[in-house]
Amino acid sequence: MLRHLIYKIKSTGPITVAEYMKEVLTNPAKGYYMNRDMLGEEGDFITSPEISQMFGELLGIWFISEWIAAGKNAAFQLVELGPGKGTLLGDILRVFSQLGSLLKNCDISLHLVEVSQKLSEIQALTLTEEKVPLERNAESPVYMKGVTKSGIPVSWYRDLQDVPKEYSFYLAHEFFDVLPVHKFQKTPHGWREVLVDIDPQVSDKLRFVLAPCATPAEAFIQNDETRDHVEVCPEAGVVIQELSQRISLTGGAALIADYGHDGTKTDTFRGFCGHRLHDVLTAPGTADLTADVDFSYLRRMSQGKVASLGPIEQQTFLRNMGIDVRLKILLDKTDDPSLRQQLLQGYNMLMNPMKMGERFNFLALVPHQRLHGRNHQTNARQSKPSPSPVAGFGELAWQ
């Protein structure tokens, strides 16, 4: 990967951080995500669903709650962007099965957006029924099809654009943080993009340099920006615009969970290898590269087509979703000390402000009419039923 990047820079000059990230993570031959399993104890990072089943269960409840609030459509697609090992979807589907009586007349299908062949194979192992062989077609926008253990059809795509534009619920958990970012530094001459170049002192080493003049991605920086260092992610903007367009036209909702900030942080670009921080320019292709998600930018990119809720901290969202009640039920169900310890450790990892509790945030995109009821023409004398609150984004009230 390093040889490839040095050759590229020698041919075309310094490259943007976004291009560097894209090559390092998703280059078909040597990209970090393309041919390895990097999740879990053995990999380079652990995600919330790998930590505790409660996380996925509560997200499953969220989607069902939104489905009910919007009028129990006869069918819905559950679309996950970057589904990891499929653990999260597995937990969500278990909730769907447990609430089967509620969903029995609803036609559900799963749609997974995944660029990594290796990860799509792991997802299929996690989710699908072995007795039903997978259909594969590398040339088709739907490159793999199968049936889950509970009988739900599941399809794999490389691009969100290829997912059918039907009534859908979208999930993006730790998806946006690995999309390529452009980095900018404020200088006396205005904004200058940070580029990756070859170190003139050491021929096989990379270094950061500033672009000598303005570059196209500068268009993404707000005119009233007060920070002196900014990361922008055009690809995230494209995905949010696509989600917003779809939700405004066909209904449904999107739930986005990631570590990030609301337009306050500056330099968050970092690498992880074996659960430790790793220099982003050293041994490219061997470590995960990531940047915190700027939720203020995601909200802006929805361009008012949908209503947005959040971002709110993970500990608040999960508490509002009833994680404390769920933990108590699971603890009451088991006498096994090691299981009980696992549940409590998982809860602590998800909720503790020093761990994931405050670092992770949730953002929801819903149709405007979901928050304002169906009919805008109602006059004061007609009492219109007020829409139910969106779960997770307000305190849980027991009735």
- Give the pLDDT confidence of 224-255 residue by residue, as tens digits: 999 999 999 999 999 999 999 999 999 999 99
User: Residue 84 to residues 41, 53, 68, 337: CA-CA distances in angstroms?
Assistant: 14, 15, 27, 29
**Cβ-based neighbours of 396, under 8 Å, separated by 6 or more:** 319, 320, 321, 322
Q: How far apart are CA 316 and CA 351, in angstroms?
A: 8
Whole-angstrom distance, CA of residue 109 vs CA of residue 155: 8
pLDDT at 222 over 60: yes
Q: What is the pLDDT of residue 29?
A: 86
pLDDT digits (tens, 9 = 90+) for 46-63: 566 677 889 999 999 999
Q: pLDDT at residue 35 above 80?
A: no
Q: What is the reported pLDDT for 374?
A: 57
Would you say residue 383 has pLDDT above 80?
A: no
Q: Taking 50 as the threshold, does the pLDDT of residue 380 lie above it?
A: no
Least confident of 12-21, 24-33, 187-196, 351-360: 24-33
Q: What is the pLDDT of residue 101?
A: 92
Architecture of domain 25-82+92-99+159-181+231-370: 3-Layer(aba) Sandwich (3.40)
Structural tokens at position 66: 């939104």
Q: What was the pLDDT predicted at 381?
A: 45
Distances (CA, A) of 90 to 86, 259, 394: 6, 22, 26
Q: How confident is the model at residue 275 (pLDDT cuts 50, 70, 90)?
A: confident
Largest pairwise CA distance in the chain: 78
Which pLDDT band, with edges at 50, 70 and 90, does 130 fall under? confident
Dig out the tokens for 216 from the structure.
Answer: 């196209």
Closest CA to 64 of 76, 55, 80, 52: 76
Average pLDDT of every residue of the chain: 91
Residue 180 predicted with pLDDT over 50: yes
For residue 220, what is the DSSP state?
A: G
Whether the pLDDT of residue 377 is over 60: the answer is no
pLDDT at residue number 324: 96
Instruction: Over range 352-373, report the average pLDDT.
Output: 93
- Record the pTM: 0.92
Question: What was the pLDDT predicted at 382?
Answer: 47
Kindly state the average pLDDT of the residues 97-117: 95
Q: How far is CA 276 from CA 34, 137, 393, in A?
A: 21, 38, 33
Strand 168-173 to 252-261 pairing: parallel
- Does the pLDDT of residue 144 top 60, yes or no? yes
- pLDDT of the residue at 274: 80
Average pLDDT over residues 205-209: 98
Domain residue limits, the chain: 25-82+92-99+159-181+231-370
